[in-house]
Amino acid sequence: MTPNNGGTANRDTSVRHRPGPFGPARILLPEDQKIETIRDIETTASALERMVDTGFSQIPVVNEDGDIIGIFSWQSFGKRMSEIHSLNVDLSKLAVKDTDLARAQFIDPELFIDTETDWSEIDHVLVGDKQNLLGVLTITDVLGRLNDFAEAFVLLYEIEHEIRDLIVDVYPGGELSEVFEGLSRRSAGPEEAAAAGLKQLIEGDSPAISDKKLTKAIQFAANLLQRACQTRPVTDLKDFTFAQYREVIFNRDNWPRFEAVFDSPRDLLNMDFEKINDLRNTVFHFRRSITPRDTDRLRRFRDKLRYDRNLYNSKDRQLATSS
């Protein structure tokens, strides 16, 4: 991304649509940000007071026509103050236009902010142009978005580890291999059914079935069988998808064991797992921004898994001690 000085002719209007945590610049602007500008003839004292009141580190400066001509900031004020400190000038009465204004750097609202963006020498950019400003985007805004996704990734990592540890606790020792075998059998079920149906169709004498339907059935079965050949057996919990965790836990044959851990209605817990899986897909595929509500849901789900597992193991230890 190369910001410019706000001219509409040379403004970077390229739009790159691809998945990522950052998205277009307009999406990264804080929702509650209000557009603040200050006239170039106002005093630095007035500008500083406005910045303190709004909590901004910089404020766009406009001329009499309303065009943005630069940026007044703590840094620009400090530079100017260091240059004229020996002069008999009242800095509080100095006009904003007479300070060392930073150049206004504009980017298109639809420009995607990504990992190629060099923020090493940029504290902020203006989203829009000098006649139509949408807001000020700072490095803090960008890093805040990255932090939201990073926190969600870490929570999902912890959730999956809690689930794996829980399955190991419920199926200790060699019993875990039975879980892998059962999952592999259920995964291969559709392919085996397709193969059996195909065999019956080919070997049987059924004139009612047209060549077109036969061809379609053969193609369908062949695709499923090809998928079965490409699917390797599950031999490690690390290979599980989140959907397979759900399949193991909520399978009716396995549920009695896990019910002792969760002590919650099966359907209710399954719904919670499904929502976490949906949120996991949202995070991993960067489908939208991560909200505090999302993070809270992940954190509460992780804490529930941790609490239920610890309580289950504590009961097991008590039983072992008493026996």
Chain position carrying tokens 């949120």: 279
Residue 80's domain spans which residues?
Answer: 25-131
Q: Is the domain of 124 the same as that of 154? A: no
Q: Is the domain of 126 the same as that of 175? A: no
Residue 237 within a domain: yes
Q: Is the domain of 148 the same as that of 279? A: yes
pLDDT given for residue 305 in this prediction: 95
Q: Is the domain of 100 the same as that of 188? A: no
Q: Is the domain of 232 the same as that of 316? A: yes
Spans of the chain, pLDDT less than 50: 1-2, 5-16, 188-189
pLDDT given for residue 207 in this prediction: 53
Residue 152 within a domain: yes
pLDDT given for residue 1 in this prediction: 47
Question: pTM of the prediction?
Answer: 0.65
Q: Is 266 left (phi over 0), alpha (psi -120 to 50) or beta?
A: alpha
Tell which residue, 203, 201, 227, has the closest CA to residue 213.
201
pLDDT given for residue 297 in this prediction: 96
pLDDT given for residue 309 in this prediction: 93
Residue 285 within a domain: yes
Q: Output the domain CATH number for residue 81.
A: 3.10.580.10
User: What's the total number of domains in the chain?
Assistant: 2
pLDDT given for residue 49 in this prediction: 87
d(C-alpha 286, C-alpha 218), whole Å: 38
Q: Is the domain of 251 the same as that of 290? A: yes
Q: Is the domain of 162 the same as that of 292? A: yes
d(C-alpha 165, C-alpha 68), whole Å: 58
| Residue-wise pLDDT tens digits, 76-106 | 788 777 777 667 777 777 888 888 788 888 8
Among 73, 98, 131, residue at a domain's last position: 131
